[in-house]
Amino acid sequence: MEIWGNRKWRYLFIGLLTAFCLLAGLFFTDALGWKSRLEANSVLAKASRDLSQYEISAVFDPARKTLACRQKVEYRNRSGQELTRLYFHLYPNAYRSEEKPVFEERDMMRAYPNGFSPGSLDMDTIRINGKEADFTIGGYSEDLLMLILKRSLKPGEALSIEMHYQVWMPNCFGRFGYGDHTYKAANWYPIACVHDKNGWNLDRYYAIGDPFYSDTANYEVAIKAPSDYVLAATGECKKKDGRDGNTVWQFHAPAVRDFAWIASKDFQTASRRVGPATVTSYYYTEETGERALDYAASAMKFYNQSFGKYPYRHFSVVEADFFIGGMEYPNLIMMDHSLYAPGETDSLELVTAHETAHQWWYGLVGNNEVRDAWMDEGLTEYSTVLYYGNRYGANQEKKVYHSTMGEGKYSYLPYYIKSAKVDETIHRPSYEFSDGTLYDLLVYGKGAMMFHDIQRKMGRATFLQTLQEYCRKYQFRNVDKEDMIHTFRQVTGRDWERNFNKWLYDEEHE
């Protein structure tokens, strides 16, 4: 009996010890995960201090194709100057008129396959600090709101702006509107124009490039939608409250530079964790939706390692009624439905990897996309080249660079422009390019070649170290050419301005 008793206690001890080790392993694994999430949350908590705050409540009516909205903005003056006026973009009004389109003429049939359909934002009331505001709506397409302040707003001061407005969504396959499967609410609400060292930036919605430029802000958005719709959106859904056939989706999005959402009755979803973030594919083409998830998750893992950690908790890849390849928004990328078709998986991967890289070069580090498009598009294009090298090896990286992106894309220039010598200047406003194809060949193609040349001269490790410092130093801010060159100089101890300039400017056309 004593022998059996000793064995019994020994087995019991071993069993308890094994269970403890298993629980400890689970605890520390989870603890490490929580550590990553806490680090990300602390980064966002710090970044979200003293930012402007948007609180938007929208009622989505798919039958009428409308959004009934109430918006409150706690606008904080971070310009360093006293402001007597404030400006907001009213991007939906750029969709009002067929005579002033937001697409090139050659793309109008693809943008409006059922014929032109107008969109708009109709402002009802505006109050500043509780009092009726003095405002004017103007601009190229009635797409600029000017608020005249009763007293100047000093640096660091904030004021409260309340707006009531109605948004009408067009039957459009561009960034904003609806199609057979999705409603796309992108660039859909009044967003403050940027005031930087050049003053107010009031650029209109140009047909070429991505005509956007915005400051980082905090968002709290509630969207009431019929309960049979699924929403993909910027930020994190903190709560869903369903009643009477409708669901109110409440989203929390700190320190982002825009807020976009897409709704569909047809969405299926698949998710994967990448570090502290959850990557989700929203799709209605069943055969391909999980491929998009794999490409996005793989790209995010590589960019996390190469550029710096993605600080948000969610990232969505969304199939949509969209014809322009892909489009980036904070925590969300909008994907062209045609990329999900059989035989298009190579294109789906390329566009997904490109748009995911924009979460760093646009999402985290912002720039004026009208005047400095090369800063995000050229760097994003070359980041995509590096993704292929990381996932498939050096030979595939070279193949992609020389055949499809970078040099491969730029090589089409003489076939496209067969007449006089073209101005190859990259660093110029998007509206100075003759069309979208020339913009693509130069800003994306030649822009990626510039970063490839600099990377080759400084070495891959130093290049990635420089991008990590660039992201760390300027995340949640807007930058210009001088900021980028300064970072390259700071990390390497060399002045790279001449290297940048030889690619950015065409000496024959200066």
Please indicate, yes or no, if residue 61 is contained in any of the structural domains. Answer: yes
Please indicate, yes or no, if residue 349 is contained in any of the structural domains. Answer: no
User: Per-residue pLDDT for 77 more than 50?
Assistant: yes
Beta-bridge partner residues of 243: 246
Q: Out of 266, 301, 331, pick the residue that ends a domain.
A: 266
Q: Would you state the structure tokens that stand for residue 132, as one six-digit string? A: 């009726």
The residue assigned the tokens 């603890």 is: 31
59 shares a domain with 33: no
500 shares a domain with 398: yes
Q: What is the CATH number of the domain that holds 182?
A: 2.60.40.1730
Beta-bridge partner residues of 250: 222, 239
Structural domain boundaries, residue 174:
50-266
19 shares a domain with 118: no
113 shares a domain with 68: yes
With beta carbons less than 8 A apart as the criterion, state whether 221 and 73 touch. Answer: no
Give the chain's length: 510
244 shares a domain with 135: yes
**What does the DSSP assignment read for 446-479?**
IHHHHHHHHHHHH-HHHHHHHHHHHHHHHTTEEE
31 shares a domain with 79: no
Please indicate, yes or no, if residue 324 is contained in any of the structural domains. Answer: no
Please indicate, yes or no, if residue 196 is contained in any of the structural domains. Answer: yes
CA–CA gap between residue 282 and residue 232 (Å, rounded): 7
Please indicate, yes or no, if residue 316 is contained in any of the structural domains. Answer: no
pLDDT (tens digit per residue) in 113-150: 999 999 999 999 999 999 999 999 999 999 999 999 99
Stretch 427-438: mean pLDDT: 97
86 shares a domain with 32: no
Q: How distant, in Å, are the alpha carbons of 183, 253, 367 from that of 435?
A: 28, 35, 22
131 shares a domain with 19: no
Beta-bridge partner residues of 57: 70, 222
Give pLDDT, residue 508.
67
CA–CA gap between residue 443 and residue 425 (Å, rounded): 9
Contacts of 226 by beta carbon, 8 Å cutoff, 6+ apart: 60, 62, 245, 246, 247
Give pLDDT, residue 226.
98
128 shares a domain with 4: no
Q: Model-level pTM?
A: 0.92
- DSSP 3-state percent helix, strand, coil across the chain (nearest 5): 40, 30, 30
SS3 94: helix
User: Per-residue pLDDT for 28 more than 80?
Assistant: no
Give pLDDT, residue 7.
38
Q: Would you state the structure tokens that stand for residue 68, as one six-digit string? A: 């009934």
pLDDT (tens digit per residue) in 350-408: 999 999 999 999 999 999 999 999 999 999 999 999 999 999 999 999 999 999 999 99
Q: Out of 246, 266, 286, pick the residue that ends a domain.
A: 266
14 shares a domain with 57: no
The Cβ of residue 358 has, within 10 Å, a number of other Cβ atoms equal to 23
Instruction: Domain count for the chain, please give it.
Output: 3
The kind and range of the H/E element at 29 are helix 2-47
476 shares a domain with 411: yes
42 shares a domain with 63: no
Beta-bridge partner residues of 256: 217
Give pLDDT, residue 452.
98
Please indicate, yes or no, if residue 376 is contained in any of the structural domains. Answer: yes
Please indicate, yes or no, if residue 127 is contained in any of the structural domains. Answer: yes
Q: What is the CATH number of the domain that holds 433?
A: 1.10.390.10
SS3 184: strand
Please indicate, yes or no, if residue 312 is contained in any of the structural domains. Answer: no
